[in-house]
Structure 1
């Protein structure tokens, strides 16, 4: 799942820089930054309860970022990381889109809630794009294994 730009040697900062330059690393970094911004916006609003979704998605994105950056997905094959990432991104997209629409509709007079809702809609789109890219990887992996299992 992790892109091949990550190397097994080097310092943590070198691995971080190399992984952020990959497509998956950029998407996960964008998810982390957007989730952090949303937490700040929701915490500043009158309704801070909406920050739960952003906190959970921030933690899950951080975990997957670290796992893929350090190559732990290859060291722990017991967990199907590709499907786990697909479910994480899909559920994150749904939750962000639903809560953000509620916040934008409900946020009359609360600028921080509306800002959090707008950033949440953007995060929902980023998570949806992440879901799409992981889905394409799952699809290509399934096609590759299906053609390799055919006996000649």
Structure 2
């Protein structure tokens, strides 16, 4: 009788042990739902930027660059064509680059890449566009056949040059203000570190 009861007790203890170990096992399956990450959660249309000075200037630059490009594309015959090709390249490049920057700033995509100095990027684009637009417009004004499309392209070229010039001035001021605000905390931290180290040296000299 004793031998027949011992397996039952052993089996009971084994079953209880397995139940306890199963209940306390860290590898239990969970029924909690897994939430998918919303990759496009931070992308939204920033209407405040579009209403700002930079947003309005960007929109005007894109529109005028596109009009200037359309005007130069309507020219069917030219001789020489160097001025036409140069103006065509400048207007197309300005339209594409400025349009991409406008899209990035409007959708707040620049916040996804904080390592890029976007103020300096905007400054370089506006300054380069101002220089090349005024140069290409002067070249086209000197090398044209007085057709309506060429005259219209020159007019819109100088108009967009003026807009880019204003944007360059504002971008330079914004970039300087940004650098000044970054240097101020660094200088304050440096002065605090020097003050703390000087206090430690004075305390050590008093103890000596």
**Pairing partner for 2:140 from 96, 103, 110:** 103
Whole-Å separation in 2 of the counterparts to 1:144 and 1:41: 44
Counterpart pick for 1:117 among 154, 162, 169? 154
Paired position in structure 1 for 2:172: 135
Equivalence for 2:59: 29
CA distance in 1, matches of 2:155, 2:142: 11
User: CA offset at residue 97 of structure 1?
Assistant: 0.1
What is the CA deviation profile of residues 88-125 of structure 1, one whole-angstrom value per residue up to 9, with x for unaligned ones? 11000000000001112222322211210111011111
CA drift of 1:9 comes to: 7.4
- Distance in 1 (CA, whole Å) between partners of 2:151 and 2:141 is 5
Contact 1:104 1:118 in 2 (8 A): no
Q: Distance between the aligned counterparts of 1:65 and 1:84, measured in 2? A: 12
Partner deviation per Cα, 1:55-108 (whole Å, 9 max, x = no partner): 110000111001100111111012211111111110000000000011122223
SS in 2 for 1:100: helix
Instruction: Indicate the larger mover: 99-108 or 120-129.
Output: 99-108
Distance in 1, matches of 2:56 and 2:66, equals: 15
CA contact (8 A) 2:71 2:152 kept: yes
Q: Cα distance, 1:16 vs. partner?
A: 6.3
| Correspondence for 1:42 | 72
Larger Rg: 2
Residue 131 of structure 1, CA deviation: 1.0
Aligned residue number for residue 104 of structure 2 = 67
User: Which segments of 5 or more consecutive residues in structure 1 lack a partner in the other structure?
Assistant: 1-7
Provide TM-score, normalisation by structure 2: 0.63
Q: Which residue of 1 aligns with 2:27?
A: none
Where does structure 2 lack aligned partners over 5 or more consecutive residues?
1-41, 79-83, 193-208
| Consecutive aligned runs of 4 or more in structure 1 exceeding 3 Å deviation | 16-19
Cα-Cα RMSD:
1.8
CA shift at 1:41, angstroms? 0.8
Residues in 2 aligned to 1:144 and 1:17: alpha-carbon distance in whole angstroms: 26
In structure 1, C-alpha distance between the alignment counterparts of 2:61 and 2:43, rounded to whole Å: 26
